[in-house]
């Protein structure tokens, strides 16, 4: 192949590859759609073996970078939304049946009770603590709605915790030390959790009119086993 043909071929690649890339980013492709459909079928068979479903033709949802499907349960004809994401290892990232069967009143109740419990645990060591939000997931029928929160409850997933602290007079190093202190207290008291995120806010009146906790100056997160690093904390001007 002579030099002109190589140049011609290179120009074609330069033009076509970006076009295909952007087309795939917004429209997907038949191969990835077939794979996502297969993954969804296997997920339904594994999670709900005693039920039958009809999977409507899905579409590529560029907002999630994957495929959205409407799944109809045969027998009650109820529709559920499912999402499958991941290019090389597609997985079901949203299961509408699971979320439809969550016990929302109990989740709200336990979230408040868990928050109060953690505030009492941490308020002495972290006096700048402003608020704790706890998100738990439990399915309907697993516990009576009057059941009180207990950290040993069998949840569907480890809980997610979000904390807000007062940034007044604090440096990035102070936030780092506070995060380590919180992680140790939670772990020493045998809490099972997925992630803890912490925003340290400036309570400026101009902003507290919009948000009672002001605006974020520092932000960081950690998991139960993670070693917290100073550089993992973001500082906002």
**pLDDT tens for residues 152-208?**
999 999 999 999 999 999 999 999 999 999 999 999 999 999 999 999 999 876 665
The CA distance from 196 to 132, in Å, is 10
Q: What are the DSSP E strand ranges found in the chain?
A: 53-55, 59-61, 66-73, 78-85, 91-95, 129-135, 159-166, 193-202, 215-223, 234-235
CA dist., res. 30 & res. 25, Å (int) = 13
pLDDT bucket at 21, cuts 50 / 70 / 90: very low
Say if residues 184 and 190 touch (Cβ distance below 8 Å): no
Structure tokens at 124: 């002495």
Instruction: Judge if 113 and 230 occupy the same domain.
Output: yes
Domain membership of residue 39 as a residue range = 3-100
User: Does the model's pTM come out above 0.95?
Assistant: no
Residue among 139, 125, 114 nearest 196 (CA):
114
User: Given pLDDT bands bounded at 50, 70 and 90, which one contains residue 19?
Assistant: very low
The pLDDT assigned to 237 comes to 73
Looking at 76, 100, 124, the residue that finishes a domain is 100
Among 68, 100, 132, residue at a domain's last position: 100
Per-residue pLDDT tens digits for 55-92: 998 899 988 889 999 999 998 889 999 999 987 889 99
The yes-or-no verdict on residue 46 having pLDDT over 60 is yes
55 and 134 co-located in one domain: no
Do 226 and 118 have their domain in common? yes
DSSP helix/strand/coil, 26: helix
- Is the CB of residue 182 less than 8 Å from the CB of residue 196? yes
């Amino acid at each position: 192949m002579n030099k002109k043909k190589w140049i011609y071929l290179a120009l074609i690649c330069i033009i076509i590859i970006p076009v295909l890339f952007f087309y795939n980013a917004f429209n997907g492709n038949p191969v990835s759609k077939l794979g996502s459909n297969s993954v969804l079928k296997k997920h339904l068979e594994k999670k709900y073996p005693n039920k039958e479903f009809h999977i409507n033709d899905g579409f590529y949802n560029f907002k999630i970078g994957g495929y959205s499907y409407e799944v109809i349960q045969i027998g009650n004809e109820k529709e559920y939304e499912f999402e499958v994401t991941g290019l090389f290892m597609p997985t079901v990232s949203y299961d509408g049946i699971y979320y439809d069967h969550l016990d929302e009143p109990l989740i709200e109740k336990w979230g408040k009770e868990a928050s109060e419990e953690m505030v009492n645990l941490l308020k002495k060591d972290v006096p700048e603590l402003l608020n704790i939000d706890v998100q738990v997931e439990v399915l309907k029928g697993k516990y009576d709605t009057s059941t009180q929160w207990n950290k040993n409850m069998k949840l569907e997933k480890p809980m997610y915790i979000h904390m807000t602290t007062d940034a007044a007079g604090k440096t990035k190093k102070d936030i780092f030390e506070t995060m380590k202190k919180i992680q140790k207290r939670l772990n020493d008291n045998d809490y099972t959790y997925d992630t803890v995120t912490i925003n340290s806010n400036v309570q400026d009146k101009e902003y507290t009119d919009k948000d009672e906790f002001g605006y974020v100056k520092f932000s960081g997160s950690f998991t139960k086993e993670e070693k917290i690093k100073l550089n993992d904390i973001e500082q906002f001007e």
